[in-house]
Structure 1
Amino acid sequence: MMAPGRRGRIARRSAVIATVVALSLFMEVSGYLATPVDLRPELAWTTVHAMVPLVFAACAGVAWALGPGRVPARLMILFVLFWIPQAFYPVIEQLGWLWPILRGVDLGWAVVAGILVLVYPRGGLGSRFDRIIAGTALTATVVNFFTVLALAGPDSVPCDCVPNPYRIAEAPLVFAVVDIGYRVVGVGLAIAIAIRLLLRWVRGSVPARTVAFLMPIALLAWVITLSTQTIRYATGMTPNLAVETVSLVAMASVPVCFVAGISHARNMRSRVADLMRITREGADRGIWAQSLARALRDDSVRVYWWEEERGRYVDAAGRPIDSTEAGRGHSILPVASPSGKPIALIRHDRVLTDNMRLLDGVSSALRLSVDNGRLRSEIERTLDQVRQSRQRIVEAGDEARRHLERDLHDGAQQQLVSLGMNLRFTANRAREAGQEAIAADLDAAIATLNSGLKELRELAQGIHPSLLSQGGLVLALPELAGRCPVPVEVAVQPEGRLPELIESTAYFAVAESLANVAKHSRASRAWVRAYVDDGELVLVIRDNGVGGAALDHGTGMLGIVDRVEAVDGRVALDSPRSAGTTVTIRMPAGLEEPRAEVDATPAGAETPGSAAPPA
């Protein structure tokens, strides 16, 4: 939604443009109608003459929208105000106080047009030459204005005007010298501007030519016709309609060329957006310089990066900057961080200094690129630390599981087994002594002890199965599937022992998946497949249950994801409603010693191919 302040500015500018257009058309039409029929110019020429200020007014609106500042648009509006056709004099010929003033400024449009060319394309007078030309033109205009007020008579305008009330003396020769001299000076200044602009275009680099590619043509056409008109005016010759028409067309093309030039410069600024694609990946020095040259259309662009250790600027190849880099038509743009720390120097064509908004965009893009590169490195370093930390936690947990399993196996289990043997020996002795009641009680205690010992062994297996340490997944997965209440077909196709962390992660991921099958799937069958593919261990756990599982639902699936991602693995889940669930796990496999393929099926499970095939 447009801001209220912006709407107000647009409304005011539109009102100004509409007012000057209406005033120009009023002067043109009223002057044409007030001129006697036999003295009226041709209608086609009058139409072209009236179109010139309209073009300037339209371009003023565009220039206000595009920039590069307020000066160009205001100069175009001022041109419309000064575009007072001499055909308007018959309307005011009886106003002695007004026509001398209009006569004194009726060439002000030429001065405004010249200054408009001088401020192209930067929007201001940027050099000493520009200021001298503008100052000379304004001085000549002031001198001509007061000369007209003091010396002009009714014979100096094409109308039957009343006497000049400001006239202080009759000096037709002095008036003619100043009048013609003013026009000659104007032609000379226009030629100087045209030559300067043409030389800049010829000698300039690609950026200079692309920014100022139309203005020299329009200005040269105007200068040629202006010179021809001045000669004819000085010699008293009748104006040539064709020459004047070409002059009008050339004058109308000046604001069009100005707007085209600043539009091109604006498009160059928009190309800086292309550099943002590089900023996402950080500042690769070689690619950054090449992309910047393409964006600016300047093959002479060089980027020198600040080297903190040596305290100097170097290019992508490590060569230090040459002290003469700023010469030979080039400028240096320093780029620094918000804290003032130097980042880089950009050597570019000097003409681009006229487009500071473009260079500001380049600086921001480079600054953003460096910041993104730094942040990217920090994030990658932090993520690597997090991955290593998660892996260390998993390894520590597995190591603690192994220690606990060994402690239970070598400690509590051995003691309970020894206790059971002692109880059995005591029960046998009681029977030999005829104490059946005591023997029966000991048998009951032995049964309870065996039951507890079985539970302890199962607990130890759940903490860390000894088969996994002894034989890897080849032995551990079939044994794990045999404890699942749902029949499970197992196909293990290893190519060697895997690292302990990978094997334990795979084992517990399959264990949790089978626990989910038993608890939630309502399946009648499940399949487990393990194989190595392209350096990765692939686990596929599938069931024919109700489906509807999700990775982010339940602690079981979240635990699988956390464990697998801790070793740089990934988990995929396919679980449509009423179509079973398939969990696919991929982990990097660092192979150790090779092993033959084993296809193991737990006791009581169906053989592969008896029902649905393995996944």
Structure 2
Amino acid sequence: MAPGRRGRIIKRTIAIAAVVALSLTMEITGFLVSPESERPEVSYATLHAMVPLVFAACAGVAWAIGPSPVPARLMVLFPVVWIPLPFLRVIEDLGWLWPLLYGVHLWWGLLTGILVLLYPRGDFGDRLARVLGAIALVASVSYLLGTVLLAEPPAALCDCAPNPYRIIDAPVMAGVIDLGYRFIGVVLALVISVRFLVRWIRGSVPARTVAFLMPLALLAWATTLAAQAVTYAANATAPQVLATVSLVAIASIPVSFVAGISHTRNMRARVADLMRITREGADRGLWAESLARTLRDASVRVYWWDEERGRYADASGDPIEHDPADRNGDHSLLPVASPTGMPIALIRHDRVLTDNMRLLDGVSSALRLSVDNGRLRSEIERTLEQVRQSRARIVEAGDEARRRIERDLHDGAQQHLVSLGMRLRLAANQARDRGIEPLGVELDGNIAMLNDALKELRELAHGIHPSLLSSGGLALAVPELAGRCPVPVEIDVQAEGRLPEVIESTAYFVVAEALANVAKHAQATRGWVRAHLVDHTLELVVRDNGVGGAAPEGSGMLGIADRVDAVGGELTIESPAGSGTTITVRIPLGATD
């Protein structure tokens, strides 16, 4: 945890603990100093004391996950102004203090109303919310000033010292201010509640999902507040059950606030699932469906940018022929662009989701990453295909070059050497006919050297590209190749007909390299070569009973792997120590199409 964050957490914890201690102190001392006949029931006093504790606990959660620190600060301030009236008996001798506390003892209603107006983004969402908040603040300040400057000691609550701040003796005016403030508070609470309830009912699924608890809490609070105001104005005693319901409703408001922002936070967490679903690329139909499920908004539409035509179109390619944002203002548009500013898509969503810009930012990032992943994946696949085709062309060009060299050697240098040998033989015969025996012997020696050179040239030409492979395919070339191996090799070649040249050439050189390894390193007494066509795939197996332990990173094995990979084949090497070596190659015939 960062030092700065640790310090903030410590400060917040101290603040919450301080207001909780202050609230409990006021509640307990006020209860203890009250006459037994005037004390409320223990259950009610306990419930009354728990309300600020709920606000304080929710403040800690709101500080941790809320979009703004303002709601958490209001929740922390709530226990300070949640002043039980019996507490006035504790400070009744402090004439300078009780008027101030009595002037703010109803400010908990101001904080609660503003908290609701800030829901869920942590700020006033529109002009009406700002106007209602301003009215509540002006009314609360006016009540404080009127109480401090005009109020008399409340004889029914305490035997308080005289109010040192009172400027005139106007009890009627003080009563009007008191009733007027309560009336304004009830009206504001009802307006806020009705406004919130109407928006909730008319809202879409996302709107109702985000604010799923607050309407019930507001309705209960406003109703009981109105009933209590009426009984207070009538100088009557409110039923205990009404006061209890009111306390429960008040305590449920911060819980509803925290539950709402927690739900919003969980919606942002579901963006990670959206990225997981679409990490392979932006399949347009899947993306729109997954996005609607993530946002729980069936009205979500995704319009994709058509770069060729310079316009947005839906997943099926049909262009937009109308304004995606409806005239009623129930939806908003979220443009998504690449880091370079190139348009990617246009997302139409429920307007309520604009209250959660972090969620929309996450959606934009997910879509941008998905598109980038799809584009990168396509580029990689295209590059790999180009590399594969390039390697195949290199192999084919190499085979063609070897065939040409073999043909040139056979038709050129080899024929010249054969012709030269015939002339030397003719010259040797003529020398003996004329009695020049030493010349004949010398010419015979030259002929022998020429025959050796011709033999080596034929073997070189055969190694470059065997003529049997060109004329008869693997069925003739592999047995001839095995016949030149010093280790007995059993051949089983059942390739039906001729195969593509590049595949035959690759298979031949795999067998040649493998048998060379058998002769040089395997210390084997027997070998096996098997070549069959299985499901349109050439399966080639070269096996020996040698010492095993063949290294895949050896130059010979790497050469085999490169040639096989160039034609889209697969190579498997099994060479346990002491159990021989088995090389298996599978080459699909369609790899060279």
Q: Same fold (TM over 0.5)?
A: yes
Which segment drifts farther, 102-111 or 443-452?
443-452
Q: How does 1:315-334 map to 2 (within 5 A)?
A: 315-327=314-326, 328=328, 329-334=330-335
Q: Residues 423 and 396 (structure 1 numbering): CA distance in 2 closer, same or farther, change over 3 Å?
A: same
Alignment of 1:372-451 (within 5 A): 372-451=373-452
Superposed displacement of residue 430, structure 1: 4.0
Pair 1:560 & 2:560 matched: yes
**CA deviation after TM superposition for structure 1 residue 428, in Å:** 3.6
- What is the SS of the residue equivalent to 1:155? coil
> Equivalent residues in 2 for 1:16-35 (5 A)?
16-35=15-34
Once the two structures are superposed, the pairs formed by residues 522-537 of structure 1 within 5 Å of their partners are: 522-537=523-538
Partner of 1:573: 573
- Per-residue deviation, residues 471-512 of structure 1 (Å, max 9, x unmatched): 111111111111222221111111221111111111112211
Cα deviation digits, residues 268-314 of structure 1 (max 9, x gap): 11111122134432222222111111111111001111222322211
* CA contact 2:525–2:545 (8 Å) conserved in 1: yes
The code of the aligned residue for 1:419 comes to: L
Secondary structure of the corresponding residue to residue 154 of structure 2: helix
Q: Deviations over 1:213-256 (max 9, x none)?
A: 11111111112221221111111112322221221111111111
Partner residue in 2 for 1:587: 587
Say if 1:531 and 1:538, in contact at 8 Å, map to a contact too: yes
1:87 partner amino acid:
P
Partner of 1:280: 279
Instruction: After superposition, give the CA deviation of every residue in 1:70-114 in whole Å (9 maximum; x if it has no partner).
Output: 111111111122212212111111111111111111111111111
1:84–1:106 Cα contact (<8 Å) kept: yes
SS at match of 1:352: helix
Residues 492-546 of structure 1 deviation map (CA, whole Å, 9 limit, x = unaligned): 1112211111111111122112222222222222211111222221111112222
How much has 1:362 moved relative to structure 2? Answer: 0.5
What is the CA RMSD across the aligned residues, in angstroms? 1.8
For 1:577 and 1:67, locate their aligned partners in 2 and report how far apart those are by CA, in whole Å: 64
SS in 2 for 1:92: coil
Are 2:105 and 1:106 equivalent residues in the alignment?
A: yes
**Which secondary structure does the structure 2 equivalent of 1:325 belong to?**
coil
> For each residue in 1:38-62, what CA deviation from the matched residue of structure 2 results, as whole angstroms up to 9, or x when unmatched?
3222221111111111111111111
Aligned residues of 2:473 and 2:498 also touching (Cα < 8 A): yes
Contact kept, 8 Å, 1:306 with 1:342, in 2: the verdict is yes
Q: Could you say what secondary structure the match of 2:90 adopts?
A: helix
The correspondence of residues 226-245 of structure 1 with structure 2, limited to 5 A, is: 226-245=225-244
Question: Which blocks of at least 5 consecutive residues in structure 1 are unaligned?
Answer: 593-615
SS of equivalent to 2:345: strand
Which residue does the alignment assign to 1:600? none
Task: Give the aligned length.
Answer: 590
Q: Match of 1:572, as an amino acid?
A: T
8 Å contact kept, 1:499–1:590: no
SS of 1:259's equivalent? helix
Residue equivalent to 1:122: 121
Aligned to 1:606: none
Range with bigger deviation, 101-110 or 15-24: 15-24
Which letter does structure 2 place at the counterpart of 1:561? A
Q: CA deviation at 1:465?
A: 0.6
In structure 2, what is the Cα distance between the partners aligned to 1:26 and 1:547? Answer: 86
Residues in 2 aligned to 1:258 and 1:516: alpha-carbon distance in whole angstroms: 76
Equivalent AA in structure 1 for residue 558 of structure 2: L
What amino acid does structure 1 have at the position aligned with 2:575?
A: S
CA contact (8 A) 2:568 2:591 kept: no
Q: Determine if contact 1:480/1:511 at 8 Å carries over to the other structure.
A: yes
The match for 1:611 is none
Does the aligned pair in 2 maintain the 1:547–1:578 contact within 8 Å?
A: yes
2:264 corresponds in structure 1 to 265
Residue 540 (structure 1) aligns with: 541
Q: Where does 1:1-150 land on structure 2 (aligned, <5 Å)?
A: 2-150=1-149
Give distance in 2, aligned partners of 1:83 and 1:155: 18
Cα distance in 1 for residues equivalent to 2:447 and 2:458: 16
Deviates more, 1:503-512 or 1:104-113: 503-512
Partner of 1:507: 508
Distance 1:332 1:184, change over 3 A: same
Tell me by how many angstroms 1:157 deviates.
Answer: 6.2
Instruction: Please say if 1:370 is aligned against 2:407.
Output: no
Partner of 2:338: 337
TM-score normalised to structure 1 length: 0.92
Amino acid at match of 1:539: L
Change in CA separation of 1:591 and 1:196 when aligned onto 2, cut-off 3 Å:
closer
3-state SS in 2 of match to 1:546: coil
Query: 2:305 is paired with a residue of what secondary structure?
Result: strand
Using the TM superposition, give the Cα deviation of residue 452 of structure 1 relative to its aligned residue in structure 2, in angstroms: 2.1
* Aligned residue number for residue 595 of structure 1: none
Matched AA of 1:10: I
Q: Deviations over 1:546-584 (max 9, x none)?
A: 222343x11111111111111111212222222222211
Report the Cα offset of residue 437 of structure 1.
4.3
Verify the 8 A CA contact 2:567 2:591 in the aligned structure 1. Answer: no
Structure 1 residues 365-396: Cα deviation after superposition (integer angstroms, max 9, x where no partner): 11112222222222222222222221221111
Distance 1:73 1:550, change over 3 A: farther
Aligned residue runs from structure 1 range 93-242, under 5 A: 93-155=92-154, 158-242=157-241
Deviation at 1:417, TM superposition (A): 1.7
Are the equivalent residues in 2 in contact too, given 1:278–1:369 (CA < 8 A)? no
Partners of 2:321 and 2:232 in 1: CA distance: 57
TM-score with structure 2 setting the length: 0.96
Matches within 5 A, 1:244-259: 244-259=243-258
Q: Could you tell me how far apart the structure 2 residues matched to 1:58 and 1:416 are?
A: 103
Q: Deviations over 1:295-346 (max 9, x none)?
A: 1111100111122232221111222224432123101111112222222111
Inter-partner Cα distance in structure 2 for 1:104 and 1:371 = 61
Structure 2 regions of 5+ residues with no counterpart?
A: none
By how many angstroms is 1:435 displaced? 4.8
Asked whether the equivalents of residues 495 and 591 of structure 1 are also in contact (C-alpha less than 8 Å), the reply is no
Structure-1 separation of matches of 2:590 and 2:44 = 88
CA apart distance, 1:461: 1.0
Kindly provide the amino acid, as one letter, of the partner of residue 66 in structure 1. I
| Cα distance, 1:35 vs structure 2 | 2.1
The residue aligned with 1:461 is: 462
C-alpha distance in 1 between matches for 2:544 and 2:504: 22
The AA in structure 1 aligned to 2:445 is A
SS at the partner of 1:154?
coil
Checking the alignment, whether the CA contact within 8 Å between 1:232 and 1:238 is kept in structure 2 is yes
Distance, in Å, in 2 between the alignment partners of 1:143 and 1:38 is: 34
